[in-house]
Structures are given as structure tokens and as C-alpha cells.
């Protein structure tokens, strides 16, 4: 024979369930995927829109060369001279892992535009697709 719960016991169990539910952590807020490939896809789209399609004079002499399909696990974008795309990249932005660890390097990171590049890449990688 099963024991019967009294009204007082049901009320106590209901209150206990409410307390336990209140102690649970809320679900994390939905945000952009932080893995390397989706992060670099966001960066490539931002660079294309904000640096090149907008005709930004700071990037007029360059061409964007995305290399997102990477078997090394490091998707990247390259900036090369517009007239010689086969030449050594002037900027490499790459990501690795999940959450992505970003790196930006090359001669352009020694120029005055380096601060802007870093700020833009960080903004785009975080999910904000705005231009400055």
C-alpha cells in the first residue's frame, strides 16, 4: 500500500521545488559561436564590408584574401597588395580553437592603422558587425 501525502506535505514539497529551481543558474545568454571558423567568418564579413566595400582609403591599396577553409584548424584572412595578390601578405588575421584565440600579425601591425585593425577585429569577432 502506498503512503498518501497530506496537503501539508504537498505544500512543503511544492515550496521546496520552488526554492531549488530558484537556486539554479540561468541559461547563458545566446551569443555568437566562439569557435575559430565562425569567428573568422564574422571577421571576414566585417573586413569586406567596412574596409573594402565602403572604399575606406586606409585599405584602398589592398585586397582581401580569405582562407577560411583551413585543414590546419586556423582559418584566416590575408590582406595583400591589390596589384600583386601572389605576394607576401601584409596582414594575417587568424583564429584557432574554441573559444577562438585570435592573432593578427604582419607589416601592417607595425603601421598607424594597427590600432584600428585590432579594434575592428575584436569588435567583429565578438558579434558586432558595425563599422567603427
**Alpha carbons 48 and 100: distance in angstroms, whole number:** 20
| Full-model pTM | 0.75
Residue 113 belongs to some domain of the structure: yes
pLDDT of residue 76 exceeding 50, the answer is yes
For the chain, give the number of residues: 132
Residue 30 belongs to some domain of the structure: no
**Alpha carbons 34 and 36: distance in angstroms, whole number:** 7
Give the pLDDT of residue 18: 40
Facing residues of 96 across strands? 101
Residue 15 belongs to some domain of the structure: no
Give the pLDDT of residue 70: 76
Residue 110 belongs to some domain of the structure: yes
Residue 72 belongs to some domain of the structure: yes
Residue 75 belongs to some domain of the structure: yes
Residue 50 belongs to some domain of the structure: yes
Range 24-52 average pLDDT: 82
Give the pLDDT of residue 68: 95
Range 88-111 average pLDDT: 96
Residue 6 belongs to some domain of the structure: no
The number of distinct structural domains making up the chain is 1
Residues 6 or more apart whose CB falls under 8 angstroms from that of 23 comprise none
Helix axes 36-47, 114-125, angle to 10 degrees: 130
pLDDT of residue 14 exceeding 50, the answer is no
Domain coverage including residue 65: 36-125
pLDDT of residue 37 exceeding 80, the answer is yes
Range 40-52 average pLDDT: 97
Residues 6 or more apart whose CB falls under 8 angstroms from that of 88 comprise 80
Range 58-87 average pLDDT: 92
Amino acid at each position: 500500500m502506498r503512503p498518501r501525502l497530506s496537503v501539508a506535505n504537498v505544500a512543503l514539497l511544492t515550496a521546496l521545488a520552488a526554492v531549488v529551481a530558484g537556486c539554479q543558474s540561468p541559461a547563458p545568454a545566446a551569443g555568437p559561436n566562439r569557435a575559430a571558423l565562425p569567428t573568422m567568418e564574422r571577421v571576414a564579413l566585417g573586413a569586406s564590408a567596412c574596409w573594402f566595400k565602403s572604399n575606406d582609403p586606409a585599405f584602398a591599396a589592398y585586397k582581401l584574401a580569405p582562407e577560411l577553409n583551413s585543414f590546419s584548424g586556423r582559418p584566416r584572412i590575408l590582406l595583400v597588395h591589390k596589384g600583386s595578390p601572389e605576394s607576401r601578405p601584409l596582414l594575417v588575421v587568424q583564429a584557432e580553437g574554441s573559444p577562438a584565440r585570435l592573432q593578427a600579425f604582419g607589416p601592417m601591425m607595425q603601421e598607424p592603422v594597427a590600432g584600428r585593425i585590432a579594434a575592428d577585429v575584436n569588435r567583429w569577432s565578438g558579434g558586432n558587425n558595425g563599422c567603427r
